Amino acid sequence: MSIEIQHLNKTFNQFAVLKDINLQVPKGELVALLGPSGCGKTTLLRIIAGLEVPDSGLILFHGEDTTSRHVRDRQVGFVFQHYALFRHLTVFENVAFGLRVRPRKLRPSNAEIRAKVHDLLYLVQMRELAERYPNQLSGGQRQRVALIRALAVEPKVLLLDEPFGALDTNVRKELRRWLRHLHDTMHVTSVFVTHDQEEAMEVADRVVVMNEGHIEQIGTPEELYENAANPFVYRFLGSVNLFHGRVQTGHIRLGDLDVKFHEHAEVHQAPIVAYVRPHELEISREADQNTMAATVSNIYMLGSTVRLELVQVSNSEIIEVELTKEQYRLLKLHKGEQVFVKPRKMRLFMENNRAN
Amino acid sequence: MSEDTQPATFEFITQTQTIHCSGDWTLAGIQQLERQLEFSHFPVATIVVDGSAIRTMDTAGAWLLFRTYHVLEQSEQNVILQGFRKETADLLNLITHYATTLQPASPSPSIAFLEQIGRKSCYQFIQLIHFLAFIGETFMVLLRSLLSPSRIRWAALFANLHSAGLSALPIIGLMAFLMGVVLAYQGGTQLSAYGANIFIVDLVGITLLRELAPLLTAILVAGRSGSAYTAQIGTMQVTQEIDALQTLGIAPMELLVIPKLLALIILMPLLSAFADVLGVVGGMLIAKVSLGVNVTDFLDRFPQAVSLTHYLIGIGKAPVFAAVIAIVGCYQGFQVKGGAEIVGQRVTTSVVQAIFLVIIVDAVFSILFNLLGI
């Protein structure tokens, strides 16, 4: 079932949490709402579920207005960050709960319920844990139970609120892959909220980047990474180095660096910021007109990669560079050494380009 | 102050009506400059401020200049700024821009006090409306459940009957027994002074059956079960289990409130009758031991002394107390928003409110029965 959101607004105590949100989630897609904490992503998800009422705007499920429909009649599955399992019920009863409490006419027979719950438990490889209580399970197991509890009632839409937020890195990675796999087998339209850009990029078909109650950009993970619409998105999708400079009719001066710049050729003396990702910087020992001088101030070994902290000679600002182990080995760098940094690629934003 | 700074100065030349500013208008020398400016007076209609000789300026200097400018303008003098370098002018613009957004001084404390009273009253009023709305909703759902009993969650109902009823028997029994003992002791000393020992039956019987047994049972149940209801629902609210119920298509009202309400309404008359019995037994024991009233005498006197009305009034009040306790307990549970510490606060509020309301309801009943002459 597709979801459509039109001109949605929500305020809490005169504080606008969501400002004119428009969003379409096509049928069967897995969409991530990504943003820093407090950007309104969870509120948006709760409004889609019907747990929160918007001040204005429409929510359409499959083209049908659902804005005023009660959460109980929306047929959504919701997975909470802290699992929200029923503590006094076993794993089996938790999953079966949504089916057992249906009115008699709609309720499947006991045998059907048992078969269905066992299928779902099999899907998450937790069959042997069916008789355990939630407090006897690990975080990852609890979240899997929460997920199949939501799926047991065959929801039209699956909503996940930071589902892996409370789990440790390894479990999180495993569950991410598993969620993607689950989605590929079940094709339920899903929306999930996260503040972890890596998680959003890995799992989602499309990512919606949100900030301060509005949508910054919508696109596939690749589109967003390659073609960020504005500095916020660029910064949010990974660490980045900033170089402040000025446009000088067709050229940009960034510290020692002189770059040709063909867009906005008419602009003169306007401030500009160049965004360069740490892995898009090259280090060499010879200077040319496209390099800037910097000294190595710190070296961090991070397993497969090496992160360098350099200090620019011209303005003593810090540059972060990421090298592979191989590159690092070849360069034989050590602390305090002067090197030359050359950006392979950069993204330029005029400083007042913050209209959206 | 390092050696290459020049102190900030200004000079007023009356012929040209110009203030010449010079030096470093920075934080270092600002104090002296401020004092000078404060005591200066520029008695002209139009005044020119010339900043061409200012070497450097920081926000402190800009702020001082802006303030002087503002004071001059307020005394209806025309001020013209001239000769400022771009950096200085930019800084001045920045200061001007932010200064205009400054708020006026905070209102006087007496108004703040009134405002607080107003806010508190509004808050209480809104709380009251919410509470009334909750009562209304509960009764609508209760009515619907009673009309179609298949909606009632029988398992939850029986679980509640067990936890709030059966397991409460020992404590309620002990309390009622001791209450009977206390009443008979205290009343007995007075009665024996008049040699009216046999009236101990009237005293213990009427007080317990009509008033004390249902009231004390209600207070105990409020502390025992009302608080548990708040804690249970409040915790479910914190762990988002209530939200989870809703998304699974279950009305929390039907699953959590109605079984509790029905259970207490069924239980309270029973518990209160149980308390009646044990209370009277306690009274009887003391009557025998310290007043010399035999058990047979006591039991003979009892039907004459205590009419059925007294018993029925006591038992009749119990379901009302039950409804008050269950509704307050559940309502406070649903009011929990935020973390676990709120649950504790709400439990306290729930017990206090429930006991308070039970006593008010009891008082209303007393007045009502007095007017009706029963």
| pLDDT recorded at residue B353 | 95
Cα(A349)–Cα(B116) distance, integer angstroms: 49
Asked if residues B236 and B340 have their Cβ atoms less than 8 Å apart, the reply is: no
Cα(A157)–Cα(A175) distance, integer angstroms: 19
Asked if A82's CB is within 8 angstroms of B239's CB, the reply is yes
Cα(B247)–Cα(B236) distance, integer angstroms: 14
What value does the mean pLDDT take over residues A87-100? 92
Does B76 or A336 have the greater pLDDT score? A336
| Predicted confidence (pLDDT) per residue in A240-298, tens digit | 888 888 887 777 877 777 777 766 666 677 788 888 899 888 888 888 877 888 899 99
The three-class DSSP label of residue A162 is: coil
Summary mean pLDDT of chain A: 88
Of residues A84, A185, A77, the one with CA closest to residue A143: A84
Please state, as a whole number, how many other Cβ atoms lie within 10 Å of the Cβ of residue B220: 19
Q: Are strands A30-34 and A189-194 parallel, antiparallel or unpaired?
A: parallel
What value does the mean pLDDT take over residues A62-74? 89
Of residues B251, B261, B237, the one with CA closest to residue B329: B261
Residue entry with tokens 């935020």: B338
Distance between first and last Cα of chain A = 30
What value does the mean pLDDT take over residues A159-182? 87
Chain A residues near residue B246 by CB distance under 8 angstroms: 50-51, 71-72
Cα(B370)–Cα(B367) distance, integer angstroms: 5
| pLDDT recorded at residue B289 | 93
Please give the backbone phi and psi of residue B53, each rounded to the nearest 5 degrees, phi first. -95, 0
The three-class DSSP label of residue A283 is: strand
Q: Which residues of A174-183 are buried (b: 16+ CB within 10 A; e: fewer)?
A: ebbebbeebb
Token couple for B132: 């009334």
| pLDDT recorded at residue A72 | 86
Asked if B249's CB is within 8 angstroms of A102's CB, the reply is yes
Token couple for B313: 């009034």
pLDDT band at A352 (very low <50, low <70, confident <90, very high): low
Please state, as a whole number, how many other Cβ atoms lie within 10 Å of the Cβ of residue B243: 21
Q: How many residues does chain B have?
A: 374
Chain B contact present for A148, CB below 8 A: no
Chain A contact present for B339, CB below 8 A: no
Cα(A174)–Cα(A180) distance, integer angstroms: 10
> Three-class SS string for chain B?
CCCCCCCCEEEEECCCCEEEEEEEECHHHHHHHHHHHHHCCCCCCEEEEEEEEEEEECHHHHHHHHHHHHHHHHCCCEEEEECCCHHHHHHHHHHHHHHCCCCCCCCCHHHHHHHHHHHHHHHHHHHHHHHHHHHHHHHHHHHHHHHCHHHCCHHHHHHHHHHHCHHHHHHHHHHHHHHHHHHHHHHHHHHHHCCCHHHHHHHHHHHHHHHHHHHHHHHHHHHHHHHHHHHHHHHHHHCCHHHHHHHCCCCHHHHHHHHHHHHHHHHHHHHHHHHHHHHHHHHHHHHHHHCCCCHHHHHHHHHHHCCHHHHHHHHHHHHHHHHHHHHHHHHHHHCCCCCHHHHHHHHHHHHHHHHHHHHHHHHHHHHHHHHHCC
Give me the residue from A77, A103, A104 closest to B247, CB to CB.
A77
For A266, the enclosing helix (H) or strand (E) is none
Of the candidate ranges A120-124, A289-293, A301-305, the one whose mean pLDDT is the lowest: A289-293
| pLDDT recorded at residue A266 | 67
Chain B residues near residue A103 by CB distance under 8 angstroms: 150
Asked if B248's CB is within 8 angstroms of A104's CB, the reply is no
State the DSSP code for A107.
P
Cα(B79)–Cα(B69) distance, integer angstroms: 7
Cα(A242)–Cα(A232) distance, integer angstroms: 12
Please give the backbone phi and psi of residue A227, each rounded to the nearest 5 degrees, phi first. -140, 60
Q: In what order do the strands lie in the sheet with A305-312?
A: A281-284, A338-343, A292-302, A305-312, A318-324
Chain A residues near residue B239 by CB distance under 8 angstroms: 82, 84, 87
C-alpha radius of gyration, chain A, whole number: 25
Q: What's the gap between Cα A329 and its chain centre?
A: 33
Tell me how far apart the 2 most distant CA atoms of chain A are, in Å: 80
Stretches in chain B below the pLDDT threshold 50: 1-2
Chain A contact present for B126, CB below 8 A: no
Asked if A76's CB is within 8 angstroms of B243's CB, the reply is no
Residues B9-102: name the CATH superfamily. Answer: STAS domain (3.30.750.24)
Q: Which residue does chain B place closest to A97, by CA atoms?
A: B248
CA–CA distance from A251 to each of A265, A288, B255 (Å)? Answer: 8, 17, 70
Asked if residues A157 and A3 have their Cβ atoms less than 8 Å apart, the reply is: yes
Cα(A225)–Cα(A212) distance, integer angstroms: 20
| pLDDT recorded at residue B8 | 78
Shortest CA gap A317–chain B (Å)? 23
Asked if A102's CB is within 8 angstroms of B246's CB, the reply is no
Distance between first and last Cα of chain B = 93
CA–CA distance from B111 to each of B62, B105, B107, B114, B116 (Å)? Answer: 35, 13, 7, 5, 8
A219 bridge partner residues: A207
- Domains of chain B, by residue range, sit at 9-102, 124-372
Chain A contact present for B155, CB below 8 A: no
Query: Is ipTM over 0.90?
Result: no
Q: Are strands A15-25 and A30-34 parallel, antiparallel or unpaired?
A: unpaired
| Helices and strands of chain A, counted as H and E runs | 9, 20
C-alpha radius of gyration, chain B, whole number: 39
Taken in order A124, A127, A133, A135, the sign of the CA dihedral is negative
State the DSSP code for A108.
P
pTM attached to this predicted model: 0.76
| pLDDT recorded at residue B143 | 94
Token couple for A108: 């499947």
State the DSSP code for A335.
T
Cα(B270)–Cα(B162) distance, integer angstroms: 13
Asked if B241's CB is within 8 angstroms of A149's CB, the reply is no
Token couple for A250: 């067709």
| pLDDT recorded at residue B330 | 96
Return the amino acid letter for A49.
A
What value does the mean pLDDT take over residues A311-321? 85
User: Angle at CA B333, nearest 5°, toward B332 and B336?
Assistant: 90
CA–CA distance from A343 to each of A346, B18, B184, B295 (Å)? Answer: 7, 53, 96, 104
Chain A residues near residue B250 by CB distance under 8 angstroms: 72, 98, 101
Asked if A72's CB is within 8 angstroms of B239's CB, the reply is no
Chain B residues near residue A150 by CB distance under 8 angstroms: 247
Cα(A148)–Cα(A97) distance, integer angstroms: 11
State the DSSP code for A166.
T
pLDDT band at A356 (very low <50, low <70, confident <90, very high): very low
